[in-house]
Homo-oligomer: A and B are copies of this chain.
Amino acid sequence: MIVAMQEKATEDQIDAVIDAMTEAGVEVHRTTGESQTILAGVGPTASLDLSKFEVLPGVMHVHRISSPYKLAGRGWRPEGTVIQFRNGVKLGSERVHAMAGPCSIESREQIFETARHVKASGGAFLRGGAFKPRSSPYAFQGMGIPGLELMREAAEANGLLVVSEVMEIAQIEPMLPLVDLFQVGARNMQNFNLLRELGQVRKPVLLKRGMAATIEELLLSSEYILSGGNYDVILCERGIRTYETATRNTMDISAIPMVKKLSHLPIVGDPSHGTGRRDMVAPMARAAVAAGADAILVEVHPNADKATSDAAQTLYLDQFDQLMKELRLIATTVGRTM
């Protein structure tokens, strides 16, 4: 950490800051410039709330120098994390994957038809929500565990892996035998109790970036899972909230190369939530793969217009098939396969 003192800071103020840093277990190096004194602190600063130094008298700014995350940092595993699934699928490696399916599991017929098509088009993961609390209390709320069982069956029948959202700790256990990849939604990105529990599980976790979360905060949240011993974490960019209203969110494509730079964890792009519009999904999926995404996550539905949720951003099955063809071409241009 670095503490920059104000130009007119007194020696007493400087001493008081040095004392506070020392008390916090930090070793202090002082640089006395012509007009300004700078205190560099070395030690266990990752666990310190640095803002409390910022309001001490005479202090101008406090900067954190070391990353607040460790296990998620690129330096911890420079070669990158590759996550291996039971059927041999590897994520984070040379092959780009597709995760596709409806927003909500609605019926046996719906999920089986989707699964067949996802497989036929080259997808590796079947996605679908079983628990759907919605922003309005007056809307459809999901099929629950029976829905997940249907999805598991449909996935098995087609050689697909299952990814589905877990919303609270109590759902982890019943979901465990039914999913291959736990999804944590944007609204739960900072539900630290849930993250900590998922750190105890030995199944991969797909962690979505919160709508107002910085990339650093996303990495800090992943640290909760990693520090529990679950090293199979996949991150997901799904759009952030900005002032623009033409799209539902602004999909931050630059988060993809930035995560690659800062972290060793695989990163997935979700253009369905990222844009909220069916007609934007294909160009943004292409952009995600061109920028280096390890997988894309898209909503598809045999009868997209009648989907009980997220209808506007859900692809028709033939649109998904067309998209996969385009993505396969893009993947080769960035030295990958799909």
Please tell me which one of the listed residues B33, B61, B255, B277 contacts residue A42 in the complex, with CB atoms under 8 A apart: B33
Give the distance in Å from the alpha carbon of A211 to the alpha carbon of B29 in the complex: 37
List residues of chain B with CB within 8 A of the CB of A333. Answer: 286, 326, 329-330, 333
List residues of chain B with CB within 8 A of the CB of A58. Answer: none
List residues of chain B with CB within 8 A of the CB of A217. Answer: 135
Q: Which of A116-124, A143-151, A154-162, A238-246 contacts B (4 or more CB under 8 A)?
A: A238-246
- CB <8 Å contact, A193 and B215: no
Least Cβ–Cβ distance between A258 and chain B, in angstroms? 5
Work out how many copies of this chain go into the complex: 4
List residues of chain B with CB within 8 A of the CB of A113. Answer: none
Least Cβ–Cβ distance between A3 and chain B, in angstroms? 10
Please tell me which one of the listed residues B212, B244, B276 contacts residue A51 in the complex, with CB atoms under 8 A apart: B276
A interface, by DSSP: helix, strand, loop or mixed?
mixed
- CB <8 Å contact, B254 and A280: yes
Least Cβ–Cβ distance between A195 and chain B, in angstroms? 8
- CB <8 Å contact, A65 and B75: no
A256 within 8 A of B: yes
A298 within 8 A of B: no
A residues bordering B, Cβ < 8 Å? 2, 4, 6-8, 20, 27, 29, 31, 33-36, 38, 40, 42, 46-47, 49, 51-52, 54-56, 60-61, 63, 65-66, 68-69, 75, 133-139, 167-169, 187-188, 190-193, 196, 210-212, 214-217, 220-221, 223-224, 227, 240-248, 250-258, 261-262, 274-280, 283-284, 286-292, 305, 307, 309-313, 326, 329-330, 332-334
